[in-house]
Structure 1
Amino acid sequence: MNKPSAPTDATKRAVAYFHASQEYFWRWAEQEAVVEWKNGATICYRQELAQLLTELAPSGLPTLSTLLLLLAACQGSWAEANGQQILEEIAYRLCTAGKGQEEEVAYLLEQAATFLDSVAALPRELRQGTAKLHLLHTIFSSEYRPVSADWARDTVEEWTSGRLDAVLATAGPAATLQRLEVDIALLIRASKRFPAAASLELHIRTGLAELPIPLPAPEVAERAVPLLDQLAEDARTVGLARLAQRVVAALHIPLHTQGASDQPIGGVSDVANRGSFDRLLLSELAHDDLSLLARLVNNEALYLRREEPPQPQPRPRTILLDTTLRLWGVPRVFALSAALAWAQNARAPRTHTGPLEAYALGGSRAQAIDITTKAGIVEALGILDPALHCGEALQVFLDQEARAAQLPECLLITEAQLLHQPAFTRILAHTPGVRFLLTVDRTGELQFYEYARGHRTQLSTTRFDLDALLFAPLPKPRWRLADEEVAELPHFLNADPCPLYLPTTGIRSAKTTVFYDTHLGAIGVSTTQRLLYWPQKERGARELLPVIELGTSHFGFEGDAIVYLLICNPYAKRLKLYTITPEQNLVRSRDLASKELAWGSNPTPPEITYHAGVFSIVLLEGSSLAVDCRRQQIVPFDPGQHLSNKKRPVYLLHQVMKRHINNGYTVLQRVNQMGVNVDGKLTVEGYVLQLTEQDTQLELQPRKQDGTARRLATFEPEPLTLVENPNVVFRRLTWADGSVAVIDPRGLLHLRSSDANLPELTVVLVIGKPTAAWASNGVVAGSTYFTGSGHQPSIPAVEFYDIYLQRFIDRLA
């Protein structure tokens, strides 16, 4: 019998490289086909790992644990599995009690975790697919590799051969603190080279540490947002914008040609030797064919030249807006809406008008107003005059000597009842220059007149529902897909308020990403730039903002009601202050004049501290300033308020905050398969959505080994991104009958049946805790952690399953 051959050097190196340490953050699973976190979340698959190692081998390899941490950040499982918490727990266990190592190791882990967060914050196209290899080469460039290029190829080949699988399935060496420090050392050095996601992204895209300073470019006006769209976004002017849009559609400005009525149009003005054949003189047709052809070739044939009508002459348009007593209240807004509609029509190319001016008429004088900007509109709303009518101001305005040389063509907007007041009508009849007249009243009636030689002719009359247009609530901004033709958004996204509390996803609990207060709760910034709020430990999160400014977060608070969040992005040279009143779901933001900061040619993150309502900002180059949160503006720097805080974080200090934002569950975000098993249950990845044994809760339970999924859904090739937050990427699956499932990376599953009579469904994808579900008819069921209590109709989980989920599944048959 032959003895087994002694292991070669390549085999020993491969075993040492690929063997998982005991009780470490990662392990082999599913017969060494998958690498997963300690808590069971997937890091990567063997096939993908083998391909990456083969590509990296010619330049040498980092430790496998370092590579796995970077792959977790690229794929999203770093945040899903609470990777930093797992590393901190391992480090705390490995530290020798009483030696004072905990604080130092926690500081090193904080630096490594910050870099992994930067990797996770990169755009999807830079950290997944073929771009992932380029990212890894960028991070590993100029770095020491424990496995040299000479040994790397043999090490990888030995592992990919499968001969080591039996050894790798056995228990590995015990994890040590020294090994953990070696595995994160490269990440710490990388965090110094790339202190933020923006600098890493710049290096990947350009290969440069900083962009060269461009030559001064000519100022180009930014694309202006239409005025009516600006007004429609403000609660103060949304009604005015709605009414103006209706008046634009109803108002038709007549076109006039100068002198066109003094002579007939379409006659013959001359005879020429050029023209079209239909204008040949009839006498030319008396020639024989050869003679006519010779005259045409030699330009001797005669043609009629038709008379051309005169072109419309552009004339200045002037809007005169009555602001006297009869126009106070609702007619005031109605009149200003009519002025906006006139201006909108006057700017259209077909009207061919000249420059536009607007004046507010009081009792005795006219005041210029700006109706081309939002600020001017808001200011015009406040101009009021207590006079009975504007006749005197109208007469004075049109009689001014400066305007006598060229009398403007004016539009007068006033109240309808004034046309029955003798004092006003006498002035109007004897005042030249008013060409058009618009009258408004409180009933919503708009009348349009044309004045000619002292007489008015009614051109049109329209009635509007002022209550519906002026006093309707401000519409809630709707989520939009980057390509709305691909698929409709789930109803859940546009429900107001959000019908479910959200699970915790993409949150790294650190002082730069989460604020915690025992009274207010917790506020956090996710790796996808979402702003979340956890009011209680017994409830999930509420989304305060779908997307915030990219940069480093700094928190401050005032009392028990207000939280300040300052976002600093030195690479974009931007500062943005958010004032958050979480209990009212209210967030206000303000861009600050960051030009006052001397960022320098190679900007670095400044040192920022908070004290008594003021953020103090100190750059490494020496410049400093402060942000007054109450006044929302930049103020001079006060050294007395700058309290330096360089205390390093300790693992135990974060535990209360972590338990508040996630009280023991895992979110299922990476879904690669959906279907229905042999028992008729909906399967999501390796879990089955079903009732608990007592039929009291819904739960995602691990699928049995023999529970093969059938009636599988098919992934659509292109992901769906949101316009508001491109980091939130949906995946869409379809069944053969036309039913649709949308995987929401915020930890939700949206289901739309091909049966239009069934409501849409949304299920929270959490593991280790009872889940909850919502139907688009407003009914919820499941764990009160996600449904809340008493705010919407709630039914038992067993009823929800039978009425909604079972009918959805039956439709898939």
Structure 2
Amino acid sequence: MDINQYFQSYENYFWEWTTDEDVPDESGYHENNLISIPNIGPIAYRAYVIEVLKMLKVGFPSFGSLLLTLYATQDGYINFNDALAPTKNFYGDGDAVKGIVNITVDFLERVKSLDKVYKKGQNRITLLQTLFGSVYLRLSSGNSELILGRYRKRPHKIGESAVKKYATPNFVYNDLRIFERLNQIFPTTQSIIDALQGKIDDLELEDEIAEDEATVESGGDDFIQELIEEPKTFQVGSLIKRIWSGLKIPMKHLSPGEQPIGGVSDMTNKGELHRMLLSEFANEDEVFMSRIANNEALYIQREIPPEENIFERIILIDTSLKNWGKPKVLSFASTIAIIKHPKAHTECKVFALGKNITPMSLDKVEEVVENLNQVSGLLDVSPALDEFFKKERSEKDLEVFFVTNEENLANPNLQKVIHENRDRLKFIVTTSANGELNFYKHHNGARKHIQKIMLPLQELWANPPKKKATQNNNAQKNGSKTPVPLNYPVLFPTPKSRIATFLYEGEFYILSNKKQLLRTYLSDNYYNKNIYVSSRIHRGSEVLVENISIKPKGQFALAKDKQGSYIICQYQPDKKLLSKLNVITGEYSDLNVTGQNIPLNFNLIYFNRNFYLHEDGFPMIFKINIEGKISIEQVENNEEISRRFIRNTAELARLHNGGENILSNFGIIGINEAQELVVSKLALSRRFDNVYNFNKNLMDLDVIASQNKNKYTFGDGSEIITDTRGMLTFKSSNKHISTFYIPSTQYGYLALATGKDFGGSEYYLPKNTQLKIKEMDEMYTDYMKNFIKHILDYGTKN
């Protein structure tokens, strides 16, 4: 199905393409930017519908069914019978169309009756994903991705689809028959809610703060704990979580369109004068003023597609003498709390203000210790603050914090600099020796106090850590973590959070949010189709490189140089910066391409031993070298590049929804009354024949292992070594039990492997392996069951 066919409009149908001349479209094509129901009102802007389609990774439903479901999730008055009456009357001579329209109305009424919480913001997207993901009457994900790709290149093609054609009754039936299946799957409103409940919780875990620590892929808590355990940073670290509990600084900004203010079809009694209904001006002056005074005048408020504003934070810490001692500890604690907040995903830079402006990094304990010692002999840092704002800064959506002592705000020089730059200085954070933090925000030229946090310093600092004693022979030197290998006999679970995905020389690669380069693959071969779901083609991944020094923004492409090293090319359009990194050797080079006048819609891709900034339809494109220092040159476009780009995009679409919920914060590890392994709050249990996974533990623990960093030791000497990338290593004190490995993921079917044998989900089986395949029940009995039995027989119970 091509782009014209999917977006095609029809005569006497329930929807049509229209144009709102007052609202420009970011694609550059401003015609046909609104979809409406004739004689009733709009459904949504084209830009919002395209964003929704991007989120439907399972494949697109028919366009008509998507629009009707969007209409059903709107606020305000909704009447499906009126909307579908022209369609039913014109095409409904036979029973088929009348029947499918009646079924459609029944189901949409069910969706309409859902509570508003399920139909707002991201939950609305989750609702659509849940409904359309439960049926197979939809386009393939590859075909869907092709339609989106062609739309991005040629949005004006919508103009051809806006010319209405005649539809047959058979088309109407096929367009709406998905609701027949949905009616069977979700016979009641409660059945929809039941399907949504868990998915909405999962979504909030990913986008906000995770309530169950076992499902969070974050190293933030580990870093805070390291600060608390280090005597030199204990005071800073012990304040951070208390600051988190009360911090009200927004961690992301959304455009007004994300707020629940209704759509074009809705009216409101609050608004701006230019949005007032023309009919209101027809009243007599006295009546007109009375209606305004009593909030009876009506306004139109258009719905804008939601958009997250990407911004960069800069935190300036005052290092003058008045901000020394306890105020300085509070300054660093509040700064780290903002940087490492679980909701924070923005880039953040920190500078110390003294005689000079000194950049600081606070990502390691050693760096915090070093920067805590920074102090200037000045009483006033206003010259440094003024110098910071006088520098030309072109960063998009810059958000500046200034952290200082409360007493310093009385300094007239500092007051003058703050007042002159109040439009650029977003927040002021003040500290005091008694543990009081105050947060101020500049808005419309005025400073507003937004919150006060009172920290009980005496209570929080009551139990400082003692100096680290000499470790016994079993502990690691300097208290470091037990080392883990780069890879294991089984594959790692593939993470959901990714910076980019690549297809290079027929192999799939992932640049994860943890800045690892992973290699994964897809498969349709199964060694036991009776056990595992045959529709799953995703596989785990192996780690190629870790700790890659790269910023997670812009566009990326991957290739290999002549020496076989992986090269990542990065293009940041907002900064006009092109860079190239050898992830093996660390060799880096960059190039400012401002003078090249590269159009915004150009894509960074790999093709035939070169990187390209490419867009279909342009006669000239830009070629970037792989070997040596980065350079760029204009070359003639090649149709083969477009064909390869489209094919690669379709192939990469198959990786969507292939990630797992990785357990990275392990907490308590032990054995429960049912003799099951318990990791944090999850028990490893048998679900079906040969199927095991982690589920919520419902029993008390009989045995608890002692923890030393990432190593847990039981009373008999058996050990479990945890790896936050998603792996558990089991070493029994019984030498007859070989070391074995189990991936640490929630919900998904698991595998168990040794250096010779493998059992369980093929998801974790390496592509080229010499492991002997066994049933999972046999592997569990031979290894895990005997591992637990030896602990219970020879260890000590708690």
Larger-Rg structure: 1
TM-score by length of 2: 0.37
TM-score by length of 1: 0.36
